[in-house]
Amino acid sequence: MKDKVVAVTGAAGVLCSTMVEDFLEHGAKVALIGRHKANVSALARAMKRKGFAETLVVEADVLDRAALERGVKKILRKWGRIDVLLNGAGGHHPKGVAKAEQMTPDTPKEETFLGMEMEAFAFVNRLNFLGTVQPCQVFLPALIASRGSIVNISSMAAWQPMTKGAAYAAAKAAVSNFTYWLANHLAPMGVRVNAIAPGFFITNQNRFLLLEADGETPTARGRKVIGHTPMGRFGDPKELCGPVRFLVSDDARFVTGVVLPVDGGFMASSGV
Ligand SMILES: NC(=O)c1ccc[n+]([C@@H]2O[C@H](COP(=O)([O-])OP(=O)(O)OC[C@H]3O[C@@H](n4cnc5c(N)ncnc54)[C@H](O)[C@@H]3O)[C@@H](O)[C@H]2O)c1
């Protein structure tokens, strides 16, 4: 990673800020892209306190093309190249989650699919799917110039939707599918495109689903997840760093179009 320039969207989030620190520890220069300047600036200051000065704050919503274009220019002005794009921005919307796991004749309508709001579906789809597609397009000329690579963030839900989170599962399935498509499309240009599919890591976007209000006790759903994970626990965000660093490294130069589960075996297990 030494002196590679990495751009991370959603950089201040729980998973991505961990990966940002890992990239810096390994000698990369990291552009911290976020919607809220205060959050990415706070991350840059926190990294500086740890001795990592090679960051650049880029204020950009992944759905705001003009802001992303300004971001690319800012990064190229400072460092002259971009080697890696990590598309980390993503998340749920509470109204895109059905309260009931299954619909029965007795389930209150507002807890079922009938109660889910189309605007929430559109929000989740825009954020996770278009919020991945658009940065790929805007950063591509710089990545072609460096023969760089892209890492998207999919989810277990892309293969097997969890109950409740319909909008998110469909949007992440689109991210995986697009990862395959773009990998093929860009192979002749020397740009590799892969994704990771994290299992279950406690972060701001899923805390309300997996932990009780005390922030420690797993909910019934959280216990189910742990029970279905052969390794018997939630993941630690640090456990995503090695797989991502591998995907963007020269060791993975013949690896493209892969969606790599990092999930303690969740995907491999049928549960019976
Ligand atoms: N936590 C998990 O278990 C898990 C599992 C699978 C996939 N993921 C995915 O990992 C990625 C990182 O999420 P996280 O779990 O660290 O959650 P998080 O909520 O901590 O981080 C998400 C970040 O994205 C940012 N963001 C949201 N909308 C944005 C926008 N329009 N433009 C720019 N930034 C925006 C948020 O401000 C936040 O910093 C997401 O794509 C998420 O879907 C997480």
pLDDT at 75: 98
Give the residue whose CA is nearest to atom 5 of ligand 1: 198
Average pLDDT over residues 1-10: 96
Whether residue 206 has pLDDT greater than 90: no
How far is ligand 1, taken at its centre, from the CA of residue 12, in Å? Answer: 9
Which ligand 1 atom lies nearest to the CA of residue 201?
3
Give the residue whose CA is nearest to atom 34 of ligand 1: 10
Higher pLDDT, 91 or 68: 68
pLDDT at 137: 98
pLDDT digits (tens, 9 = 90+) for 12-36: 999 999 999 999 999 999 999 999 9
| Ligand 1 contacts CB of residue 153 (under 6 A) | yes
| Ligand 1 contacts CB of residue 34 (under 6 A) | yes
Partner residues linked to 149 by β-bridges: 84, 192
Average pLDDT over residues 69-96: 95
Higher pLDDT, 94 or 112: 112
| Ligand 1 contacts CB of residue 206 (under 6 A) | yes
pLDDT at 150: 99
pLDDT at 163: 87
Domains, in order of start, for the chain = 5-95+122-262 (3.40.50.720)
**Which of 157, 23, 122, 142 is CA-nearest to residue 78?**
142
Q: What is the mean pLDDT of the chain?
A: 96
Which ligand 1 atom lies nearest to the CA of residue 89?
24
Whether residue 101 has pLDDT greater than 80: yes
Give the residue whose CA is nearest to atom 20 of ligand 1: 13
Whether residue 205 has pLDDT greater than 80: no
Residue whose token pair is 């590679």: 4
Site to probe by mutation for ligand 1, drawn from 203, 206, 234, 260 as the one with most ligand atoms within 8 Å of Cβ, is: 203
pLDDT digits (tens, 9 = 90+) for 169-191: 999 999 999 999 999 999 999 99
pLDDT at 133: 98
Which ligand 1 atom lies nearest to the CA of residue 234?
3
The residues that are catalytic are 168
Give the residue whose CA is nearest to atom 36 of ligand 1: 10
Partner residues linked to 198 by β-bridges: 262
Which ligand 1 atom lies nearest to the CA of residue 128?
41
How far is ligand 1, taken at its centre, from the CA of residue 230, in Å? Answer: 25
pLDDT at 215: 87
Whether residue 56 has pLDDT greater than 90: yes
Sign for the pseudo-dihedral over CA of 48, 52, 54, 56: negative
How far is ligand 1, taken at its centre, from the CA of residue 87, in Å? Answer: 9
Whether residue 226 has pLDDT greater than 90: yes
